[in-house]
């Protein structure tokens, strides 16, 4: 752990002055004023008069105190057992203090006895795992604003997920699950996301690697690993791997068709695995690793067949099946498979990008 954080009273004028210097350096001396540095605005936020929307624009990030900036910006660490959320057992969500991004659910919180809040999972793709500057630990940061949160550790045996996200309380804000500001933002986000949302389903080998590329694609709202095309309802990973259910490991992609389209995603599918291999991808062998596009309407079918024909015209022996999935159930995979590489770090071992289309 780095030098422990100083907990002391600091005059507001000094805090704002020093923060302004830090922000100007981080933004290459940008002179645009930050409305959240206004005292009245900051008080209004604390009093719950504004929705907790995720802040995308760095110039609008929430104001940080000197102590908060020491951890969030300078990657410091607070004293063990000093954070306000170490023993918090209330039901709700933990948000990024700098940008309000949803990071952790209280349902994933557990008492590790280490002196810092501990979580065995995070919300969606809210957290990014990166290599620490020490060269061996894995640092966790907010995926939206890159605020320092803490570190992640594995194989300690605390929970079934065998993962501990060790987080500084000072990097977080806790919001009760029934907080009206949170509900208002969630409803607004959902309404926005579903206006132009469409679904695509692809199978291209191990769903860890398939999801790795699609979750990073522009216009993608969310991804979900799962199983499709088999005979058993709600199969488990073990059953699928035993080759008794006929399911393919697949990824359901929700996307905003005002920002991307099915053809773009279909091209990404063909370009991030080897579509000539039958019931395998690299060292992964089995029918669950087959290459298959599950179309949901005639337009998706036409696009998939056309792109497959383009590759075959270039003498590529494409093994990809194109299957009507309008009436096929998609069974969501186990939580520990979801966003595997985003959580664990690293990159796929059998999915490599290869440009195949002009």
Count of other CB atoms within 10 angstroms of residue 326: 11
Q: Of 29-33, 78-82, 179-183, 200-204, which gets the smallest average pLDDT?
A: 29-33
Count of other CB atoms within 10 angstroms of residue 146: 16
pLDDT at 11 over 90: no
The answer to whether residues 105 and 60 touch, using CB atoms and an 8 Å cutoff, is no
Q: Output 328 or 58, whichever has higher pLDDT.
A: 328
Count of other CB atoms within 10 angstroms of residue 305: 14
Q: Where are the domains of the chain?
A: 12-180, 196-344
Share of the chain above pLDDT 90, in %: 62
Count of other CB atoms within 10 angstroms of residue 168: 27
Q: Output 353 or 14, whichever has higher pLDDT.
A: 353
145 an active-site residue?
Answer: no
The pLDDT score that the predictor gives to residue 182 is 66
Q: pLDDT tens-digit profile of 292-332?
A: 999 999 999 999 999 999 999 999 999 999 999 988 999 98
Q: pLDDT tens-digit profile of 244-271?
A: 999 999 999 988 888 899 999 999 999 9
The pLDDT score that the predictor gives to residue 229 is 95
Averaged pLDDT score across all residues of the chain: 82
Write down the catalytic residue from 145, 206, 266, 350.
Answer: 206
CATH topology of domain 12-180: 2.170.150
Q: Of 19-28, 180-189, 332-341, 348-357, which gets the smallest average pLDDT?
A: 19-28
Write down the catalytic residue from 96, 99, 166, 266.
Answer: 166
166 an active-site residue?
Answer: yes
Q: pLDDT tens-digit profile of 110-150?
A: 999 999 999 999 999 899 999 988 888 999 999 999 999 99
Q: Which residue, 65, 219, 216, 83, is CA-closest to 143?
A: 216
The pLDDT score that the predictor gives to residue 132 is 87
Q: Is CATH 1.10.760.10 correct for 196-344?
A: no
Structure tokens at 254: 């929700």
The pLDDT score that the predictor gives to residue 6 is 40
The residue length of the chain stands at 358
């Amino acid at each position: 752990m780095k030098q422990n954080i100083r907990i002391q009273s600091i005059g507001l004028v000094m805090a704002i002055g020093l923060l302004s210097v830090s922000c100007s350096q981080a933004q290459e001396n940008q002179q645009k004023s930050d409305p959240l540095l206004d005292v009245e605005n900051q008080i209004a936020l604390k009093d719950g008069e504004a929705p907790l929307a995720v802040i995308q624009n760095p110039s609008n990030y929430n104001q940080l105190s000197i102590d908060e900036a020491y951890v969030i910006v300078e990657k410091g660490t607070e004293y063990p057992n000093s954070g306000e959320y170490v023993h918090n057992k209330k039901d709700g969500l933990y948000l990024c203090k700098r940008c309000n991004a949803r990071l952790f659910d209280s349902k994933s919180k557990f008492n590790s006895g280490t002196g810092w809040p501990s979580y065995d999972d995070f919300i969606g793709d809210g957290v990014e795992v990166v290599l620490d500057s020490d060269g061996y630990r894995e640092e966790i940061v907010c995926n939206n604003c890159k605020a320092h949160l803490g570190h992640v550790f594995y194989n300690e045996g605390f929970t079934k997920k065998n993962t501990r996200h060790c987080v500084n309380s000072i990097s977080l804000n806790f919001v009760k699950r029934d907080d009206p500001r949170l509900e208002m933002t969630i409803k607004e986000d959902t309404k926005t996301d579903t206006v132009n949302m469409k679904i695509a389903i692809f199978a291209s080998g191990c769903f860890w690697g398939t999801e790795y590329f699609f979750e990073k694609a522009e216009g993608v709202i969310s991804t979900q690993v799962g199983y499709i095309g088999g005979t058993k309802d709600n199969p488990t990973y073990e059953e699928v791997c035993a080759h008794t259910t006929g399911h393919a490991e697949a990824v359901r992609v929700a996307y905003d068709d005002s920002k991307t389209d099915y053809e773009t995603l279909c091209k990404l599918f063909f370009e991030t695995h080897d579509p000539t291999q039958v019931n395998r991808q690299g060292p992964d062998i089995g029918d669950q690793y087959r290459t298959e596009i599950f179309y949901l309407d005639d337009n998706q079918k036409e696009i998939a067949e056309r792109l497959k024909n383009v590759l075959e015209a270039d003498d590529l022996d494409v093994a990809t099946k194109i299957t009507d999935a309008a009436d096929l159930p998609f069974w969501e995979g186990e939580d520990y498979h979801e966003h595997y590489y985003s959580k664990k770090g690293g990159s796929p071992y059998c999915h490599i990008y290869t440009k195949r289309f002009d």
